[in-house]
Structures are given as structure tokens and as C-alpha cells.
């Protein structure tokens, strides 16, 4: 079994493992996703990462593969200043609020 390098939030890795019916061998928990992927690059293990990093973080010896049948999701939160002055930021906040329902 490969050692799993863990991001700060390990629940996604554990969820994917449970869906696959196995208990992962847990390894280092270096923090952010770049650090996780760096350890994978150094051949320290494998990692479950969000699809959003594919094509954005490219390191030697790292291959990204889709996990078929995986339904793992993440929740995102938007925090912002109550009295934002930047028109561009206000438009972005309004757009996120509209799309979030």
C-alpha cells in the first residue's frame, strides 16, 4: 500500500478511501496543497487533491489521474469586508451571491 500525503483538511482523502473500501496508510501532513504535491514529487507517497489543481501545479514526477466514480465535494466560503470600496470586488461579491442562490 502507498503512503498517503495529507492536506490540511484530511476528510476528503478519508472519504475517497472509504468509497474505495480501504483504509489508507497515512503519511505526512505538510499543510497546503503545494507542499503535498511537492512531497509526491519527491516520491514520498500519493495524494488525493481537488481537480482544480490539475494543470495549475506542475512538478517533476507528478501525474494526475481522475478517480472514477468518486463523488467527493468541497464547500467553499466567501468572506469579505462589509464596507468594500472596490467596485470590481463588489461586483464579484454580488456575482458569487447570485450564483450561490
For 41-77, what is each residue's pLDDT tens digit?
999 999 999 888 999 999 999 999 999 888 888 777 8
pTM of the model: 0.73
For 68-96, what is each residue's pLDDT tens digit?
888 888 777 899 999 999 999 999 999 99
In angstroms, rounded to a whole number, what is the distance separating the alpha carbons of residues 50 and 52? Answer: 5
For residue 11, with 0-12 CB atoms within 10 Å meaning exposed, 13-18 middle and 19 or more buried, which class applies? exposed
Highest mean pLDDT among 12-16, 18-22, 86-90: 86-90
Q: Where are the domains of the chain?
A: 1-74
C-alpha angle with apex 72: 80 to 5, nearest 5 degrees?
A: 90
In angstroms, rounded to a whole number, what is the distance separating the alpha carbons of residues 37 and 59? Answer: 8
Amino acid at each position: 500500500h502507498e503512503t498517503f500525503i495529507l492536506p490540511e483538511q484530511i476528510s476528503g482523502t478519508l472519504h475517497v478511501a472509504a468509497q474505495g473500501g480501504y483504509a489508507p496508510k497515512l503519511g505526512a501532513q505538510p499543510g497546503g496543497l503545494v507542499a503535498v504535491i511537492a512531497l509526491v514529487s519527491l516520491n514520498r507517497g500519493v495524494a488525493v487533491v481537488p481537480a482544480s489543481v490539475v494543470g495549475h501545479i506542475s512538478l517533476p514526477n507528478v501525474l494526475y489521474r481522475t478517480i472514477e466514480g468518486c463523488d467527493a465535494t468541497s464547500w467553499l466560503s466567501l468572506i469579505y469586508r462589509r464596507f468594500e470600496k472596490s467596485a470590481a470586488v463588489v461586483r464579484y461579491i454580488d456575482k458569487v451571491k447570485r450564483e450561490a442562490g
